[in-house]
Chains A and B, each alone.
Chain A
Amino acid sequence: MTIIKLDEIKYALQNLSQRKTRSFLSIVSILIGIAAVFALISFGMGIKSYINTLAEESGTNKLLITAKGIGAPGTDDTFALSQEDVDFVDKINGIDDISGMYYKISEVTFRDKNKYIYMIGLNLDKIDFIMQGMNIDIEKGRALKKGDAYKAVLGYNYILDNKVFSKGLQIGDKIFIDDVNFEVIGFYSSVGNPTDDSQIYITSEMFEQLYPDKKDKYAVIMASTEQGFETKEVANKVTERLRKFKGQEEGKEDFYVQTFEDAIATFSSVINILNGVLVLIALISVVVASVNIMNTMYTSVLERTKEIGIMKAVGARNNDILFIFLLESGAIGMLGGIIGVLLGYAVASIGAGYAAGAGFSALKPIFPWTLIAGCILFSFAVGAGSGLLPAIRASKLKPVDSLRYE
Chain B
Amino acid sequence: MLRDYISLAIKNLSKKRLRTYLTMIGIFIGIAAVVALIGLGEGLKTAITSQFGFLGTDVLSVQAASVGFSGPPGAGAPNPLSDELAEKIEEINNVDMAFNRYLASATIEFREKQKIEFVISLVTGENRRDFERMLNLKMQEGRMLTDQDDKGILLGDNYHKGATYGATFDRPIHAGDKVLINGKQFNVIGIIEKKGSFIFDDAIWMNDDVMINEGIRKDDGTIDTLGIRVKDASRIEQTQKDIEELLRKERDVDEGEEDFTVQTAQKALESLKSALFAVQLFVTIIALISLVVGGIGIMNTMYTAVLERTREIGIMKSIGAKNSTIFTLFAIESGFLGLVGGIIGIILGLTLAYGLAFIGSFALGSDLIQANVSMELILGALAFSFTLGTVFGLLPAIRASKLHPVDALRRVK
Contacts and interface: CB of A to CB of B under 8 A. Distances in A.
A252 B304 CA distance: 71
Interface residues of A, number: 52
Contacts of B304: 22, 299
Contact of A288 (B69, B294, B299): B294
Nearest to A74: B76
A25 interface: yes
Contacts of A96: none
B297 A29 contact: yes
Interface residues of B, number: 51
B67 A105 contact: yes
Contacts of B334: none
B116 A71 contact: no
B296 A25 contact: yes
A312 to B, nearest CB: 20
Contact of B29 (A29, A114, A284): A284
Interface in B250-268: 253, 257, 259
Contacts of B303: 21-22, 25
A37 B67 CA distance: 35
B222 interface: no
A212 interface: no
Nearest to B64: A116
B185 to A, nearest CB: 16
B351 to A, nearest CB: 16
A273 interface: no
A289 interface: yes
B19 A116 contact: no
Nearest to B29: A288
Interface string B284-306: 00110110111011011101100
Interface in B41-98: 65-67, 69-72, 75-79
Contacts of B116: 68-69, 79, 254
B15 to A, nearest CB: 12
A40 B71 CA distance: 30
Contact of A118 (B25, B67, B71): B67
A284 B30 contact: yes
B297 A288 contact: yes
A281 interface: yes
A26 to B, nearest CB: 7
B287 A281 contact: yes
B138 to A, nearest CB: 25
B105 interface: yes
B113 interface: yes
A282 interface: yes
Contacts of A116: 65-67, 77-78, 259
A74 B78 CA distance: 11
Given A33-B290, A295-B23, A252 B114 contact: yes
B321 interface: no
Interface in A101-137: 104-107, 112-114, 116-118
Contacts of B257: 112-114
A291 B66 CA distance: 52
A195 interface: yes
Contact of A287 (B37, B103, B109, B290): B290
A77 to B, nearest CB: 8
Contact of B297 (A105, A107, A278, A291): A291
Interface in B277-325: 283, 286-287, 289-290, 292-294, 296-297, 299-301, 303-304
B110 to A, nearest CB: 11
Given A107-B79, A118-B67, A195-B67, 12 more contacts: A25-B296, A36-B289, A68-B116, A75-B67, A75-B71, A252-B109, A284-B33, A288-B25, A288-B29, A289-B293, A295-B300, A298-B19
Question: 4 closest pairs, A vs B, by CB?
Answer: A71-B71, A75-B76, A285-B290, A252-B114
Interface of A: 21-22, 25-26, 28-30, 32-33, 36, 40, 68-72, 74-76, 78-79, 104-107, 112-114, 116-118, 178, 195, 249, 251-252, 254, 278, 281-282, 284-285, 287-289, 291-292, 294-296, 298-299
22 contacts: A21-B300, A26-B300, A29-B297, A33-B289, A68-B116, A76-B75, A76-B105, A104-B78, A105-B66, A114-B259, A116-B78, A117-B67, A252-B114, A281-B283, A281-B287, A284-B290, A285-B292, A287-B29, A288-B293, A292-B294, A298-B19, A299-B304
